[in-house]
Structure 1
Amino acid sequence: MPDQIAGRVDRDELRGDCANCFGLCCVALPFARSADFAHDKAAGSPCPNLAEDHRCGIHDRLRQRGYSGCTVYDCFGAGQQVSQVTFGGRDWRGAPRERSRMMFEVFPVVRQLHELLWYVTEALALPAARPVHADLRRALDRTAGLTRLPPEELAALDVPAHRQEVNVLLLRTSELARTGIQGRGKNRRGADLMGARLKGADLRGANLRGACLIAADLTGADLRGADLIGADLRDADLTDADLTGALFLTQPQLNAARGGAGTRLPGSAVRPAHWTPEF
């Protein structure tokens, strides 16, 4: 957990499994009252909707009750890792304050590591990235090993430094995968495209790493082979867009966007339940 052998991680283990988690995202993380959350909540304070069994009491009504932010979140499997492995199945409820505090501190660290595992695992599945596969496998083993550190070592881990090391390989992977794709020269890395009118845009092979695409109109856009790592797709309209082959697209990004039955997705993606034909 994650199920890992040398140079390989089961991606199914990098998806949130609430049944094996102690509701950590509902306790450890803070949120502010906004369009995404109905009220303020401090880090380390349980959400009032969290039940004694660690399940959400309004799970089937989150959007109606003003908690759309909860519906787009995914921990990449960090919740069950911290709950069942790092802390050996010991609950935070009734635990000594120091242990529960450490659990809440470690959770976001492991979440970042699991997100990196997701990216590296995707990179290893790309034949075009074969020249860096050996380095990627070492990065995968190293990252998976970090997730198994004791709580105190995880809390002290310099995640940004490790992320930077892995990012060098992910950048190289992106370059190799996008070679020869028409549109590869479109470099919009970190661009402010909030509300941009990109309906039907040809964005094949474009570099959209870290781009702000909040509320952008991407209906019918061709995003095949585009690098979307870190792109902000909140409320972006992906109706009839083609995202097959998009690089480093995560489920939380899709969950935060809008789309419909005509949106074409990569094989590893799950069509969000809230996407309806009305979009």
Structure 2
Amino acid sequence: MPDKSALKADCGACFGLCCVALPFAKSADFAVDKPAGRPCGNLLADFRCGIHTDLRERGFQGCTVFDCFGAGQKVSQETFGGRDWRQGPEVSGPMFRVFPVMRQLHELLWYLAEALEMPAAASVHPEIRKALDETDALTRGGPDEVAAVDVPAVREKVNALLLRASEEVRRTVPGRKRNHRGADLIGARLNGAGLRGANLRGAYLIAADLRKADLRAADLIGADLRDADLSGADLTGALFLTQAQVDSARGDAATRLPEALTAPARWTPPPA
């Protein structure tokens, strides 16, 4: 079973893979188009970002909410043994193919590790632990082996277990639980909504008004929270909420988050 700290990005041990291997299109999240395999124009020779402190102001908001779940340092230091992509196509091609696969596997490992921390889901823990070990083993193969992993098949198996864990936890929440799985709630007015224990898996909550909403123990796996207003909302014990989701939302000092997550520095304090 991997140490959960290894599932957190360590940019200093990575060769800027998210800035090279992945593509992005000019949009509200990215100021320019960049194809996969081409270094971002802001990437420095030492693999640091030249505009890291000004990413939002320079039109690269998408970079500020990206999380590789530790896949960057895994690919850089373990899969390729410290060889960086600048050494030539024999390294860069395979590395750029491996990184997106590793990133998805590490995300699944993060969710599985979180599920093992849920006492109410103890009945599912043996299967979750087995799936975690199997997924972890997939990340430790050579470049060709990792690149060949059937991620959709792995995701389908893991997702079924995560859903069972979620159901076990949310079953302990009293009262009726709302089901908004995959719902289009873009810009929805949910100020003060009672969403405790709700199923919000994959819901589109872009720019939704969730001020002072009760989201305790709500399942938020895959929910799109970009520009959602979480000011004063209570997300204590929210299930499968990631730091990237929090970073993409708005909030304030009154927003209550799960213990493992932190409020972005840009969140404004509540009005006096």
TM range (shorter): over 0.9
Map 1:58-97; keep pairs closer than 5 Å. 58-95=51-88, 97=89
Question: Hey, what does 1:267 align to over in structure 2?
Answer: 259
| Structure 1 residue 181, shift from structure 2 partner | 1.0
Give me the whole-angstrom Cα distance separating, in 2, the residues matched to 1:183 and 1:19. 47
| Structure 1 residue 158, shift from structure 2 partner | 0.4
- 1:23 maps to which of 6, 16, 25: 16
SS in structure 2 of the partner of residue 232 of structure 1? coil
Map 1:185-224; keep pairs closer than 5 Å. 185-224=177-216
Structure 1 stretches of 4+ with a deviation exceeding 6 A read none
Q: In the comparison of the two structures, how many residue pairs are matched?
A: 271
Give me the whole-angstrom Cα distance separating, in 1, the residues matched to 2:258 and 2:4. 14
Q: Does 1:143 align with 2:135?
A: yes
| Structure 1 residue 182, shift from structure 2 partner | 3.3
Identity score, percent: 68
Per-residue CA deviations over 1:30-78 (Å, capped at 9, x if unaligned) read 1111111111101000000000000001101111111111111110000
Give me the whole-angstrom Cα distance separating, in 2, the residues matched to 1:143 and 1:179. 27
Give me the whole-angstrom Cα distance separating, in 2, the residues matched to 1:262 and 1:234. 19
**Do the aligned partners of 1:33 and 1:40 also contact (CA within 8 Å) in 2?**
yes
Per-residue CA deviations over 1:65-102 (Å, capped at 9, x if unaligned) read 1111111111000000000000000010132x132011
TM-score of the superposition, structure 1-length normalised? 0.95
Map 1:23-172; keep pairs closer than 5 Å. 23-95=16-88, 97-172=89-164
Give me the whole-angstrom Cα distance separating, in 1, the residues matched to 2:130 and 2:115. 13
**Do the aligned partners of 1:183 and 1:206 also contact (CA within 8 Å) in 2?**
no
SS in structure 1 of the partner of residue 103 of structure 2? helix
TM-score of the superposition, structure 2-length normalised? 0.97
| Structure 1 residue 183, shift from structure 2 partner | 5.0
Question: Hey, what does 1:239 align to over in structure 2?
Answer: 231
**Do the aligned partners of 1:183 and 1:202 also contact (CA within 8 Å) in 2?**
no
| Structure 1 residue 184, shift from structure 2 partner | 4.9
SS in structure 1 of the partner of residue 90 of structure 2? helix
Give me the whole-angstrom Cα distance separating, in 2, the residues matched to 1:266 and 1:183. 22
Question: Hey, what does 1:4 align to over in structure 2?
Answer: none
Give me the whole-angstrom Cα distance separating, in 2, the residues matched to 1:255 and 1:184. 29
**Do the aligned partners of 1:213 and 1:231 also contact (CA within 8 Å) in 2?**
yes
**Do the aligned partners of 2:84 and 2:91 also contact (CA within 8 Å) in 1?**
no
Segments of structure 1 that go 5 or more residues without pairing to the other structure are 1-7
| Structure 1 residue 185, shift from structure 2 partner | 3.0
